[in-house]
Structure 1
Amino acid sequence: MDFTASDRISALLPRLRQFVAEEILPLEADPASYDGHENIRLDLRDAVRARARAAGLYAPQMPEARGGLGLTMAEQAAFYEETNRSIFGPSCFNCAAPDDGNMRCLEMTATEDQKRRWLQPIIDGTVNSSFAMTEPHPGGGSDPGMIRTRAERHGSRWRIHGHKWFISGAAVARHFILIARTDPDMGETRRHLTAFLFHADQPGWRIVRRIGNLGPDEHGGVCELEFDGLEIDDGDRLMQVGDGLRLTQIRLGPARLTHCMRWLGLAKRSMEIAKAYVETREGFGLRLSERESVRIKLGEVAHDIQIGRLLTMHAAWKLDQGDLARKEVSSAKIHVADTLHKAVDTAIQLCGARGYSTDTVLEWIYRYARAARLVDGASEVHKMVLARFYEKEGSDYWRWG
């Protein structure tokens, strides 16, 4: 495992860092840059995206033939981390959730016609997208075997009935990926789910509400959806009937890891703000940075961030080798979610009242960070995954190669 940066990413990173510093970071200080849910205004985002595309810094995860950069997962780890030096960064480079995971999933699973109709508009930035899987109890959340939203076949069409909630991005999405049960047997099987594509304008479904939360929100928030006879043509089915669970695994593994990549950028930004403050703030005859207690806090977080980077890069490397990297992704997600919270909490403590105020973005990151231990599988679920691997593999859990 050689984590030396490739020539390609080494050439991109200085340009990317300069773009973030000059084009995006200044926007954070202007209240007019924000929408009503504390994210960058979509019209402003689109203007920055146009400049990012012109600079050759757009859609890093997509093939060059589709207008992207065609980076490997290992290269994306460095790229995504740098984009999230700004809270607005990932969205401006079109590598923010949920579009990021949806684009990756469609590129890997869709037919060429489906890619033309459903994927390319997301890459081009003309539409936002959403992934509709999670359901309220007794439906499926972390356990897809419990999914109850059903798709019933009527000739060449499928009719959808059911209930979804906490669906990221739904309020602004135009293109949706839907996971529904096509096996009427409510028992847990491996072939009970199928994935479908639908457009926001199709009748037979509605957004019940945009669910309020601690925030800030991704564009489109998290929404509750109701399906009451939505009809989907069989040509808009993704993969084969019964392949829905396989598709969720294809999507969610890399998506969890790209969360880690972005969160590491936010953790580093938090410490950057804290470091700048403690190096200038004086009290009782010393700069804060000269106090051993402060230095220990900074050292601990720097240590944890570096562990998170190594876990993330290892998982990215495994994915590049064609491995599902389930253990590695779960380990990275557990650690990086904890590290993000620790980093921003430490930064707020070191910055005092200034960190708690809206004079910095630390309070924004702090609220955002709390979701990290929940989204794309709660930390407890990922620990259960690791326990199952250990029970099965024993000492081979740590094997080389």
Structure 2
Amino acid sequence: MDFTLDPRHDELRLKVREFVDEHILPLESDPANYNEFENIRMSLRDELRQKAKDAGLWAPQMPRERGGLGLPMVGQAVFYEEANRSIFGPSAFNCAAPDDGNMRVLETVGTQAQKDAWLQPIVDGKVNSSFVMTEPHPGGGSDPGMIATRAERDGDAWRIHGHKWFISGAAVARHFILIARTDPNPEEKRRHLSAFLFHADQPGWRIVRRIDNMGPDEHGGVCELEFDGLTIPDENRLMEVGDGLKLTQIRLGPARLTHCMRWLGLAKRCMEIAQEYVSRREGFGIRLADRESVQLKLGEVAHDIQIGRLLVMNAAWKLDQGDRARTEVSSAKIHVADTLHKAVDTALQLNGARGYSKDTILEWVYRYARCARLVDGASEVHKMVLARFYAKEGSDYWKWG
């Protein structure tokens, strides 16, 4: 691939950087700008969103005819990395999870009517959304073959019974994408799932609890849900009966990669904070930046971030060519998740007590970074994916093209 940026994408990159510096970074230092779950207050978020729209920096992943920027994956990689130099950035530009992945899959597989009714309000920033898949044991987590929530046909509708948990954004979402079992045969592992759309106001389901965790929480947290007869009209089924697993694969591949794009931005921000501090902090007659031990730490993180950027760009390019890029996305997910944790751990260590305090965002990022090795498939699952492909392809695993 050619690593020369499209001039339009580079121009957007600079505009995003300027917007983040001017409008978003100054908000991080004021506790009044946060909600009780340590994210930006939604009313303030909505003010930022209007500014982003006015600046032409809205919904980079969506087509222009829907009000987005229509960027390819390579262009999104550039945009998202700059957006997440601030912990508030992705939400301000409408490229934060889980809405980001939900918009993508609805744009890809939805009917025109479904796009108009369910996708457009998310693109416009009028509603939040949620993807409802993960279940407590013995239901499905990383293994979708274990999903137990049932969708049973009832004339022109489906009735849903089951139990889900760790559902991102559910507490504030209005539009939901649900994955449920439509083939009751427990031996069926490929065509056993279907996908459905439902609205928060529909009866037959409830939020059992918002699950407390290390935080900080995205808007809507992670929730436990119970379904006891939710009725969904068949017109709100996504794709064909039995295509639920296919839909999850369509959604999760790009979603994993966009996580990586955002995490690289956060990793770079941690480096900025570390570099600024060691450049002025002195001890025992020498600046920290002049100590070889400090230089080695920062050089190693810079090295790992650049490897992550190359992995992400390679996967993004392959997705733009129509490839599923399964190994490329998994490699990026493993490496960038580890790199984010290393970057913030290094920055926190170099800042000392200042890093451990709330005087910077480092402790916020440190807690957030730990979930990177879990969300959208634990690192171990992605390593298993790589091992399976290698066992199948041998030396061709490293083929070019």
Q: Distance in 1 between matches of 2:193 and 2:3?
A: 37
For 1:163, the equivalent position in structure 2 comes to 163
Secondary structure of the corresponding residue to residue 167 of structure 1: strand
Q: Distance in 2 between matches of 1:73 and 1:205?
A: 36
CA contact 1:183–1:192 (8 Å) conserved in 2 = yes
Tell me which amino acid in the other structure corresponds to 1:3.
Answer: F
Secondary structure of the corresponding residue to residue 158 of structure 2: strand
For 1:229, the equivalent position in structure 2 comes to 229
Q: Distance in 1 between matches of 2:36 and 2:331?
A: 35
Q: Distance in 2 between matches of 1:254 and 1:45?
A: 25
Q: Mean Cα displacement is larger for which, 184-193 or 19-28?
A: 184-193
For 1:88, the equivalent position in structure 2 comes to 88
Tell me which amino acid in the other structure corresponds to 2:68.
Answer: G
Cα deviation for residue 188 of structure 1 reads 3.8
The equivalences for 1:246-325 within 5 A come to 246-325=246-325
Q: Distance in 2 between matches of 1:4 and 1:180?
A: 43
Pair 1:381 & 2:385 matched = no
Q: Distance in 2 between matches of 1:334 and 1:126?
A: 34
For 1:362, the equivalent position in structure 2 comes to 362
Secondary structure of the corresponding residue to residue 232 of structure 1: strand
Q: Distance in 2 between matches of 1:266 and 1:109?
A: 31
Aligned residues: 401
Q: Distance in 2 between matches of 1:3 and 1:164?
A: 42
Tell me which amino acid in the other structure corresponds to 2:357.
Answer: S
Q: Distance in 2 between matches of 1:140 and 1:320?
A: 30
The equivalences for 1:7-18 within 5 A come to 7-18=7-18
For 2:218, the equivalent position in structure 1 comes to 218
Tell me which amino acid in the other structure corresponds to 2:4.
Answer: T
The equivalences for 1:10-159 within 5 A come to 10-159=10-159
Q: Distance in 2 between matches of 1:52 and 1:400?
A: 39
Q: Distance in 2 between matches of 1:174 and 1:266?
A: 28
CA contact 1:146–1:188 (8 Å) conserved in 2 = no
CA contact 1:135–1:165 (8 Å) conserved in 2 = yes
Cα deviation for residue 13 of structure 1 reads 1.4
The equivalences for 1:195-206 within 5 A come to 195-206=195-206
Tell me which amino acid in the other structure corresponds to 1:222.
Answer: V
Cα deviation for residue 7 of structure 1 reads 1.4
**What do the CA deviations read for 1:263-295 (whole angstroms, capped 9, x no partner)?**
000000001000000000001110000000000
Tell me which amino acid in the other structure corresponds to 2:377.
Answer: G
Give me the TM-score of the superposition, normalised by structure 2: 1.00
CA contact 1:301–1:339 (8 Å) conserved in 2 = yes
**What do the CA deviations read for 1:133-160 (whole angstroms, capped 9, x no partner)?**
0000000000000000000001100000
Secondary structure of the corresponding residue to residue 232 of structure 2: strand
| Runs of at least 5 residues in structure 2 that lack an aligned partner in the other structure | none
**What do the CA deviations read for 1:353-389 (whole angstroms, capped 9, x no partner)?**
0000000000000000000000000000000000000
Which runs of structure 1 show a deviation greater than 4 angstroms over 4 or more consecutive aligned residues?
none
Tell me which amino acid in the other structure corresponds to 1:133.
Answer: M
Tell me which amino acid in the other structure corresponds to 2:12.
Answer: L
Q: Mean Cα displacement is larger for which, 7-16 or 18-27?
A: 7-16
Secondary structure of the corresponding residue to residue 153 of structure 1: strand
Q: Distance in 2 between matches of 1:190 and 1:340?
A: 34
CA contact 1:308–1:336 (8 Å) conserved in 2 = yes
For 2:173, the equivalent position in structure 1 comes to 173
Secondary structure of the corresponding residue to residue 279 of structure 1: helix
Cα deviation for residue 69 of structure 1 reads 0.3
Tell me which amino acid in the other structure corresponds to 2:59.
Answer: A
CA contact 1:267–1:340 (8 Å) conserved in 2 = yes
CA contact 1:39–1:217 (8 Å) conserved in 2 = yes
**What do the CA deviations read for 1:49-70 (whole angstroms, capped 9, x no partner)?**
0010010000000000000000
For 1:399, the equivalent position in structure 2 comes to 399
Give me the TM-score of the superposition, normalised by structure 1: 1.00
Cα deviation for residue 187 of structure 1 reads 1.7
Tell me which amino acid in the other structure corresponds to 1:114.
Answer: Q
Q: Distance in 1 between matches of 2:259 and 2:71?
A: 16
